[in-house]
Amino acid sequence: MVITRIAEGITREIERTGDRVNGMFEPVVRLGVTGLSRAGKTVFITSLVANLLDRGRMSQLIGASDGRILAAWLQPHPDDTVPRFDYENRLAALTGADPHWPEGTASVSKLRLSFRIQPGGILGRMSGPKTLHLDIMDYPGEWLTDLTLLEQSYGDWSAQTLAMMEQRDQGDEFLARATALGGAEKFEELQAKELATLYTQHLFDARAAGYSLCTPGRFLMPGDLAGAPALSFAPLPAVDGRRPARKSLWREMERRFEAYKSQVAKPFFQTHFSGVDRQIVLVDALGAIHQGPAAVDDMREAMAGILKVFKPGGNGLLSWIWGSRRVEKILFAATRVDLLHHSQHPRLTAIMEALVRDARDRADFAGAQTEALSIAALRTTVEETHRQNGADLDCVRGLRAPGQEALFYAGDLPADPQILLAQSRDQNRKWLAHEFDAMQFLPAPDAMRPGSGPPHIRLDKAAQFLLGDRL
Ligand SMILES: Nc1nc2c(ncn2[C@@H]2O[C@H](COP(=O)(O)OP(=O)(O)O)[C@@H](O)[C@H]2O)c(=O)[nH]1
Ligand SMILES: [Mg+2]
């Protein structure tokens, strides 16, 4: 713990020095963009940056609508050891003549956006324009769930993970093998490898079935650690309530688990998460709602876990991530709302609000300002009301494949979010149309207009909540 604090102190000092060299005490807002994999982080960052550079579609962002932002431009991130977020190519891919979605993110990258701002008020006008930097980081969302594992011992993690696997349809093969082996016998590399491979396969299957809690995150997205020993372990059942002997399979798995925590997971959060002062947590709530109650439950669990970590000033085990700094604002945003007609948007927002309230209560959380929104970072649809069997259906229209348009009706979300969140749910209830699974549109071709970023839904409201007070 002491070593951790010293290392943290050094990092902070370097950060501060960096800010000073770059400009005399120019303020920096560090925006954390958080979310499980495929939640929409990469698309969000790309569209947010484009819409902050060209603010024609940002009327709800007050600094933009009242002209206080005089200029905005991109800079390399001051952290020389991290690749730059490939903004230009990502934007071109999303908005060109043959648009497509980005690949999954495999590693960390960062970007700095700088603003020239005319402060308001008499004093502000006298002091002249100021510079504000916005630092943004992109990273694989799979790694986020490792926050839950950092506080656990190998025994705890194993017990929890195995219990969770019993509840899920995936992973029977792994469970059978792990139970047959036990863990007390002598460690053999081949067995460890086999278990790790089966366990990794289970994680991929569970994620495909819509589950959010899939640890360790690097098993799904290893980055530059593919094949490293720290990535070849798996949960094992407890051995008769005793601690197994040295050189046993269980003890070697425990050793690797601890190595993973201290050498892989912890340094990631420490270097990249400390110092974040605004957070957006992107949630594919529509996807989870469609997958059914088990996936919604799992998502609530994951959200409460995330909120626990942002608990300010607490003396929780994870307080080393934030040090003395605190996260001031956290926005929970349901993504991909462009798949719904606007008549359904308030319902999705209400569900998000209920989820946030629930997560706040369960995380015993107070401090940062939180809000819930439903957004689309990149709007892919137009709305259309379709008459069918004498009734009006509120639909959206978009591109299924190049040149191939389709009309889509998602179904009705429940008007009362409690219906969806109540414990006594019908486990087989599906809220959205069956085709929703396959439903995704391509971004519209040539979506850019001079002076504006890509089309979106409520990205300006999200920006106002996250940055408005600093512009
Ligand atoms: N319709 C729609 N789909 C989106 C939007 N943002 C993300 N997506 C979908 O979600 C997928 C994952 O997005 P991405 O940004 O790569 O997620 P990440 O893994 O969190 O970085 C994309 O490939 C799109 O299919 C959006 O605003 N609208
Ligand atoms: Mg990504």
pLDDT digits (tens, 9 = 90+) for 418-466: 877 775 355 556 667 666 666 789 999 988 999 999 999 999 999 999 9
The answer to whether residues 229 and 312 belong to one domain is no
Give domain status of residue 300, yes or no: yes
The answer to whether residues 126 and 6 belong to one domain is yes
The answer to whether residues 108 and 27 belong to one domain is yes
Residues of the chain with pLDDT under 70: 1-24, 311-325, 364-366, 423-431, 433-438
Give domain status of residue 114, yes or no: yes
The answer to whether residues 368 and 337 belong to one domain is yes
The answer to whether residues 316 and 463 belong to one domain is yes
Cβ(408)–Cβ(339) below 8 Å: yes
Give domain status of residue 47, yes or no: yes
For the whole model, what pTM was predicted? 0.84
Cα(426)–Cα(117) distance, rounded to whole angstroms?
A: 53
Give domain status of residue 415, yes or no: no
pLDDT reported for residue 89? 94
Closest CA to 173 of 206, 154, 201: 201
pLDDT reported for residue 15? 42
- Among residues 267, 302, 333, the one where a domain terminates is 267
Percent helix, strand, coil in the chain, to 5, is: 45, 20, 35
The answer to whether residues 163 and 260 belong to one domain is yes
pLDDT digits (tens, 9 = 90+) for 195-219: 999 999 999 999 888 787 889 999 9
pLDDT reported for residue 77? 82
Q: Which residue intervals of 329-455 are DSSP H helices?
A: 345-362, 417-421
The answer to whether residues 338 and 209 belong to one domain is no
Give domain status of residue 49, yes or no: yes
The answer to whether residues 118 and 182 belong to one domain is no
pLDDT reported for residue 319? 63
The answer to whether residues 323 and 453 belong to one domain is yes
Q: What is the separation of C-alpha 149 from the centre of its chain, rounded to a whole number of angstroms?
A: 17
The answer to whether residues 373 and 455 belong to one domain is yes
Closest CA to 140 of 256, 224, 235: 224
Spacing, Cα 329 to ligand 2 middle (Å) = 22
Query: Which residues have any ligand 1 atom within 6 Å of their CB?
Result: 35, 37-43, 101-102, 104-105, 141, 335-336, 338-339, 376-378, 380, 440-441
Nearest protein Cα to ligand 1, atom 3: 336
What is the residue range of 206's domain?
151-267
Give domain status of residue 414, yes or no: no
- Among residues 239, 267, 295, the one where a domain terminates is 267
Cα(139)–Cα(276) distance, rounded to whole angstroms?
A: 14
Cβ(43)–Cβ(453) below 8 Å: no
Quick one: which H or E segment has residue 272?
helix 266-273
The answer to whether residues 131 and 15 belong to one domain is yes
pLDDT reported for residue 16? 40
Tell me how many domains the chain contains.
2
Give domain status of residue 437, yes or no: no
Give domain status of residue 420, yes or no: no
3-class secondary structure for 295-361? HHHHHHHHHHHHHHHCCCCCCCCCHHHHCCCCCCEEEEEECCHHHCCHHHHHHHHHHHHHHHHHHHH
- Among residues 229, 244, 267, the one where a domain terminates is 267
What letter does residue 238 receive in the DSSP assignment?
-
pLDDT reported for residue 459? 98
Cβ(394)–Cβ(409) below 8 Å: yes
| CATH at residue 349 | 3.40.50
Ligand closest to 381 (CA) is: 1
Residue of 43, 87, 436 best suited for mutating to test ligand 1, as the one with most atoms within 8 Å of CB: 43
Nearest protein Cα to ligand 1, atom 6: 40
Spacing, Cα 370 to ligand 2 middle (Å) = 23
Spacing, Cα 400 to ligand 2 middle (Å) = 22
The answer to whether residues 33 and 124 belong to one domain is yes
Ligand 1 atom with the smallest distance to the CA of 381 is 1
